[in-house]
Amino acid sequence: MNAVSVFILAGLALSPVLSAQAVELNDQFSLVITPTLVSDYRANGLSQTKGDPAAQLAITLSHASGLYAGIWTSNVNFGHGSKARQEIEYYGGYAWQISDSISLDTFYTRYEFARESGYNQSDVQTVLDVYGVLLGGKYVTNMQGPGYEDENGEFHKGKKDEDLSTFFIGYHTLLPAEFGLQVRYEYVDYKDDVFFSDSGKGRADYTDWEIKLTRDFVGVSWGLSYIDTSLSKTECQSYTGYDDVCGATLLASASKTF
């Protein structure tokens, strides 16, 4: 589960646009509220809603020092009888503005799922932004492993014993006509073989990528992303129980920051 986009988190305390839209509580604290609608909730390239739309909300309190804390939530649907319908994340971190064009954001996130506590987990992430070039990664421990089907075709939940690390490189910039461009290429490593091909060969890692265009119009930030992964349909099926939640997709989004 991946939650708050690195592009959002990197901008909460650093972006002049978001800072201008933030609710100034006093000369030290500000509040940013961002509701978002997406046509699919993707985390590390994988759908968390079986390809269905999601309504999301982020509320972040930031301090002039660069410290911030917040909560983020989204509906989810993992299928196979899972009772999880809502993901809630609690996060806190420090955004260090080194210069006008260089920043470092480090934060901790706790993920919780009502009625499915086995999915609960936490991670530490860091994002370095150097003149629009993004370098970052995260590390997760004791997360829910992949489910599997037994010889009778019955689906079983995985054990809570997996570690996960990701590393990514990205870039964001402004284009003519006030369009924004964001690109990201990510490497995801589960440490153990959890993806299996038609031949039965397993692997622990894969890559995912995203190209996103954004533009503000009538007070709303509109986005269109192309997202894909290196996983085959069979590998996707072996990990998620579905073969259509890891492939290429166009994802539309609309958000407004208060």
pLDDT digits (tens, 9 = 90+) for 79-100: 999 999 999 999 999 999 999 9
pLDDT at 151: 56
Residues with Cβ < 8 Å from 98, sequence gap 6 or more? Answer: 104
Least-confidence region, from 63-67, 144-148, 191-195: 144-148
Asked whether residue 233 carries a pLDDT value surpassing 50, the answer given is: yes
Phi (first) and psi of residue 176, to 5 degrees: -60, 160
Q: What is the pTM of this model?
A: 0.89
Alpha helix (H) ranges present in the chain? 6-12, 16-21, 233-240
Asked whether residue 234 carries a pLDDT value surpassing 60, the answer given is: yes
Asked whether residue 19 carries a pLDDT value surpassing 90, the answer given is: no
Asked whether residue 148 carries a pLDDT value surpassing 80, the answer given is: no
pLDDT at 240: 94
Mean pLDDT of the chain: 89
Per-residue pLDDT averaged across 185-205, rounded?
95
Per-residue pLDDT averaged across 105-134, rounded?
94
pLDDT at 15: 47
Provide the 10 A C-beta neighbour count for residue 118: 15
3-state SS class at 243:
coil
Structure tokens at 191: 């440490």
Specify which residues 75 forms β-bridges with: 86
The fold of 6-255 is: Porin (2.40.160)
pLDDT at 18: 47
Residues with Cβ < 8 Å from 121, sequence gap 6 or more? Answer: 1, 111, 140, 141, 142, 143, 144
Query: What is the 8-class DSSP label of residue 11?
Result: H
Query: What is the 8-class DSSP label of residue 221?
Result: E
Alpha carbons 113 and 209: distance in angstroms, whole number = 26
Asked whether residue 39 carries a pLDDT value surpassing 80, the answer given is: yes
Alpha carbons 33 and 77: distance in angstroms, whole number = 24
